[in-house]
Chains A and B, each alone.
Chain A
Amino acid sequence: MTRRVVITGAGTVNALGLDVAQTQAAMRDGRSAIGELEMRDAERLTIRIGAQVSDYDETVHFNHQQIALYDRYTQFALLAARQAIGQAGLEFSGDLAARSGVILGTSGGGLNTQDENYRAVYEAGKNRVHPFVVPKLMNNAAAAHLSMEWNLKGPSFTVATACASSNHAIGQAFHFIRSGMSDVMVTGGAEAMLCFGGVKAWEGLRVMSRDTCRPFCATRSGMVQGEGAGIFVLEEMAHAKARGAEILAEVAGVAMTSDASDIVMPSRQGAERAMAGALRDAGMRADEVGYINAHGTGTAANDKTECAAVAQVFGAQADRLAISSTKSMHGHCIGATGAIELLACLMALRDGIIAPTANWQEADPECALDVVPNAARATQVDACLSNAFAFGGMNAVLALRAA
């Protein structure tokens, strides 16, 4: 008998809110958290906007010894995981601990730590750095601290596929449970790339907007970076039901594809194969899908390709389903973005509310789909997809069903 996988806990920290309730409330209101960046040397940046986690004081959440070890991305992951595991109501010990692991996505890892310490040695000319620079900056630090905090002793690692990292991570966690290797996996992604070096690097590509993120809009001006974490508890369905856990949604299927064509330009075929593959893996008909949380970066290259791919895969259903990009509100959270966007999928499946594409002004004939402009919509959604199409041409699409 096929093992099914459900979500029993969700947590987040992002610019829209410091938990799931705040984040989903902002999504319902179509409120964008994009604003002026506050960071050291911001006056030297050409791109000065982003969706930053503001009103955040690390000393409220962590002590001095912890801060010495936790980069900002690790802090986000730990706070989000505390919410998710708390909601799931699981305690990990004995056999359950031995078979439960953590798979996270990140792109930059401890980038703030790198940035600060490069500054110290190159700019300030210091010849000594803090002893924990390496364990603080490493890409598996967040996953490692989650494993230690909650006694997760099963398969644990970090996935890095740029903007698709957390969808690949969640997909991998799904496979671990479906295959029988684990009963519970903690998964998602974390990213804190809004530091001087992180933004400066993105400026170089010349795809960043100077005003705001307007996905699927004729007046789009590029992408806007965000930051944060989204963490979920995935659990084998019978395991969750046996203990009476509340099921938030079912992860019904996953597909991963590689364009194998260009390092930055997306391919329609790669996106199509990923969406069609996720439907096939989930045993889901196209006409069951009421909502797609788009990759929707607000760049010309992504938005046109993604809309063409949706039209191709869904045929007539493409005109009946809703598709929105919540990056217009929480920014492009890079390696955490798929995880944060999964919260919009949970809102659609559980509450029947589709998060809008904010900041939208004018129809783009090359994105002629129902992009839910500016205002959230109440409608029943039984199944949805969440798209992630990364630089490097690496794609991962999740297919979910209502519990």
Chain B
Amino acid sequence: MTEEIRAKVHEIVAEQAMVDPPDVSDEMTPGDLGIDSMGLVEAIFAIEEAFDIQVPFNANEPQKSDFDYSSVGAIVRAVHRLVDEQKK
């Protein structure tokens, strides 16, 4: 499951960054990939649709949202947690 989530998150992030999925790694930050705040909102929407989950994220104060997007790997872990919490 973790690998499936990682692959899908990488694919979504790659599409937003307009790069190929293999060029995305867990260490990268959204900033590294040139994803701005509205790009992040779009990526989160895609994540919600792909995993059928709700991601807590307010674009006004992104840092205060209960969703760690500091790196691609952090997003993968956060999505994993949300899937576990919301799909039980």
Binding site for B on A (CB under 8 A): 204-207, 209, 220-222, 264-265, 299-301
Contact = CB atoms under 8 A, between A and B. Distances in A.
A207 B59 contact: yes
B41 interface: yes
Nearest to A220: B60
Dominant secondary structure at the B interface: loop
Nearest to A222: B60
Contacts of A204: 45
12 contacts: A205-B41, A206-B41, A206-B44, A206-B57, A206-B58, A207-B58, A207-B60, A221-B58, A221-B60, A222-B58, A265-B36, A300-B60
B1 interface: no
Contacts, number: 27
A300 B61 contact: yes
A13 to B, nearest CB: 29
Nearest to B56: A206
B53 to A, nearest CB: 14
Nearest to B64: A221
Contacts of B58: 206-207, 221-222
Interface of B: 36-38, 41, 44-45, 57-61
A233 B84 CA distance: 60
A205 B37 CA distance: 11
Nearest to A298: B60
A264 B41 CA distance: 12
Contacts of B38: 264-265
Contacts of A301: 60
Nearest to A210: B58
A206 B59 contact: yes
B59 A221 contact: no
Contacts of A264: 38
A32 B61 CA distance: 23
A265 B41 CA distance: 13
A204 B41 CA distance: 8
Most buried by B among A204, A206, A209, A299: A206
A22 B26 CA distance: 57
A292 to B, nearest CB: 22
A162 to B, nearest CB: 15
A362 to B, nearest CB: 13
Contacts of A221: 58, 60-61
Contacts of B44: 206
Nearest to B65: A206
A265 B45 CA distance: 19
